[in-house]
């Protein structure tokens, strides 16, 4: 790889220091991405086509599946290209698009998971008023707030990062254009940028997480008061999938964004990022379909309609 062939492209070092691992990762990431496309597309189609699922819970789940679908697509094709061949480059335009889009979608998911926790709180703690509380306009407003917060965060963080002088530095010690890796290219003191990124991460990661924990705290209190095994089972069925998704997403993103900056470039950080950018979007639809009777029932109804279109 010579400098002339690179032009002004960025070099994504990625996993090139472990070439024996790249072929294994390529196969694993490809399979995971195909499952992500199939699983999240299926949830979106089922939620839209089956009238039984036209509820706030599945409205937010559709938004989550769309976020995961786009989030994975903004990262994985470039990752597969770099894992497959000797070239580890990405064009400046491609890097900017990946930075803005992936950050917007990741930030949106943080808030959307908190919105889904509030929906579960309303369903279990305010069942008689649920339809009144979670009316369509409020659902649209909450989903819109999640998307706007994601777009707002990426416009601020992405623009600040891209305005830093790089003095010709093009080697990114990661497999994607992400803010913590990009600010390392700067040839000026980035301490203020790291502090600013840390504070933004606290707001967009920990604040929604606190709201989620508060919502589930109220849910546990409500269920404990009833002291019914059937109610416990129903609450677990209603909230179990969401809690599992929250655990997978927040545990990995917090490990990356709220940690000492000196440890970010280590290989451990790349594998953690690989988990929440590739694996988590694959697991989310599996978690919701395997644990959710409504989704499985809707899938069966749609399959029957396809087999018997005249009925």
CATH number, position 217: 1.20.1070.10
- Candidates 254, 148, 158, 250; CA nearest to 201 is 254
- Check whether 92 has a pLDDT greater than 70: yes
For residue 165, being part of any structural domain is answered with yes
User: Could you tell me what percent of the chain has a pLDDT over 90?
Assistant: 40
What is the reported pLDDT for 72?
A: 95
Q: Name the domain count of the chain.
A: 1
- Separation CA 155–CA 173 (nearest Å): 23
For residue 65, being part of any structural domain is answered with yes
What is the reported pLDDT for 290?
A: 63
Name the least confident of 115-129, 136-150, 292-306. 292-306
- Candidates 3, 9, 7, 15; CA nearest to 273 is 15
What is the reported pLDDT for 37?
A: 95
Ordered alpha helix ranges (H), the chain:
3-6, 19-49, 56-73, 76-84, 92-125, 130-133, 136-162, 179-182, 191-201, 207-226, 229-257, 267-274, 280-290, 293-307
- Separation CA 22–CA 252 (nearest Å): 22
For residue 311, being part of any structural domain is answered with no
- Check whether 166 has a pLDDT greater than 70: yes
Quote the pTM value. 0.87
For residue 309, being part of any structural domain is answered with no
What is the reported pLDDT for 260?
A: 54
- Check whether 161 has a pLDDT greater than 70: yes
What is the reported pLDDT for 261?
A: 53
For residue 87, being part of any structural domain is answered with yes
Residue range 253-280: average pLDDT?
Answer: 74
What is the reported pLDDT for 231?
A: 64
What is the reported pLDDT for 265?
A: 46
- Domain of residue 23, residue span: 8-300
- Check whether 262 has a pLDDT greater than 90: no
Higher pLDDT, 26 or 252: 26
Residue range 189-196: average pLDDT?
Answer: 85
What is the reported pLDDT for 6?
A: 43
Residue range 19-28: average pLDDT?
Answer: 90
What is the reported pLDDT for 180?
A: 86
* Highest mean pLDDT: which range of 24-28, 177-181, 285-289: 24-28
- Check whether 24 has a pLDDT greater than 80: yes
What is the reported pLDDT for 141?
A: 96
Kindly indicate the confidence band of residue 150, based on its pLDDT and cuts at 50, 70 and 90.
very high
- Number of residues that make up the chain: 311
- Check whether 4 has a pLDDT greater than 50: no
- Those residues whose C-beta lies under 8 Å from the C-beta of residue 27, and which sit 6 or more positions away, are none
What is the reported pLDDT for 263?
A: 47
What is the reported pLDDT for 3?
A: 39
For residue 307, being part of any structural domain is answered with no
For residue 310, being part of any structural domain is answered with no
For residue 308, being part of any structural domain is answered with no
């Amino acid at each position: 790889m010579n400098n002339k062939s690179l032009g002004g492209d960025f070099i994504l070092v990625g996993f090139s220091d472990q070439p024996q691992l790249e072929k294994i990762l390529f196969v694993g990431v490809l399979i995971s991405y195909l499952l992500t496309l199939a699983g999240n597309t299926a949830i979106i189609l089922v939620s839209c086509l089956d009238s039984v699922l036209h509820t706030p819970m599945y409205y937010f789940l559709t938004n989550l599946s769309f976020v995961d679908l786009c989030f994975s697509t903004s990262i994985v094709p470039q990752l597969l290209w770099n894992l497959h061949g000797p070239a580890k480059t990405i064009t400046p335009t491609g890097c900017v698009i990946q930075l803005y889009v992936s950050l917007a979608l990741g930030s949106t998911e943080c808030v959307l998971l908190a919105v889904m926790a509030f929906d579960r709180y309303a369903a279990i703690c305010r069942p008689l008023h649920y339809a009144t509380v979670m009316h369509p306009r409020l659902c649209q407003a909450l989903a819109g707030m999640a998307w706007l917060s994601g777009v707002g965060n990426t416009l601020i963080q992405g623009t600040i990062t891209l305005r830093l002088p790089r003095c010709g530095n093009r080697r990114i010690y990661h497999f994607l254009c992400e803010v913590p890796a990009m600010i390392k290219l700067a040839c000026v003191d980035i301490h203020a940028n790291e502090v600013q990124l840390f504070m933004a991460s606290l707001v967009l990661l920990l604040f929604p997480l606190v709201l989620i924990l508060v919502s589930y705290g109220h849910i546990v209190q409500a269920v404990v008061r009833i002291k019914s095994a059937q109610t416990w089972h129903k609450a677990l069925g209603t909230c179990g999938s969401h809690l599992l998704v929250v655990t997978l997403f927040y545990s990995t993103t917090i490990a990356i964004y709220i940690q000492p900056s000196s440890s970010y470039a280590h290989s451990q950080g790349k594998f953690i990022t690989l988990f929440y950018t590739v694996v988590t979007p694959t697991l989310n639809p599996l978690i919701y379909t395997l644990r959710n009777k409504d989704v499985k029932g809707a899938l069966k109804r749609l399959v029957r309609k396809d087999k018997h279109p005249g009925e």
